[in-house]
Amino acid sequence: MKALLQRVTGAEVTVDGRVTGRIGQGFVILLGVGGDDGEKDADYLADKVVNLRMFSDDNSKFNLSALQIKAELLVISQFTLLADTSRGRRPSFTEAAPPEMAEKLYNYFIGRVSETGLKVQAGVFGAHMLVSIVNDGPVTIMLDSKDKLA
């Protein structure tokens, strides 16, 4: 499972002209689910997202976590994070989970980060979305559950 974190001062997602999620300071989380991912991958990434120190303290050092600043989270499904571009000119998405499985783990991840008490908003799984982001920094970091230590 992959999560692309973008630190933002604000963001919103719209589907068919309707806002489905809007946040202030926090993270936009683009979440891609792989075919071999499970709940342990989502648990790992949920814990990493809320505890990773990506917000600046008074000395402009990355010392504060989303939990510490009460960040807001906007979670967007993003199967294209699993693209394989190693061959040819058209990306392959064979590593991405089938939609039914991906949606289940996407919703599970949203549940896990919601349990922290942070405000969590989301896009609409499988929909064509327009995401407006005011990237802060810019600060963007890729997380991959395969990087966890065994």
pLDDT tens for the chain, 150 residues: list them.
Answer: 999 999 999 999 999 999 999 999 999 999 999 999 999 999 999 999 999 999 999 999 999 999 999 999 999 999 999 999 999 999 999 999 999 999 999 999 999 999 999 999 999 999 999 999 999 999 999 999 998 865
Catalytic hit among 27, 78, 109, 125: 78
Class of domain 2-147: alpha beta
Active site residue 78: yes
Domain ranges of the chain: 2-147
Catalytic hit among 79, 109, 121, 125: 79
Q: How far apart are CA 27 and CA 54, in angstroms?
A: 10
Of the candidates 52, 37, 141, 22, the residue with the CA atom closest to the CA atom of residue 97: 37
Active site residue 80: yes
pTM for this prediction? 0.94
- The token duo for 67 is 């939990």
Active site residue 116: no
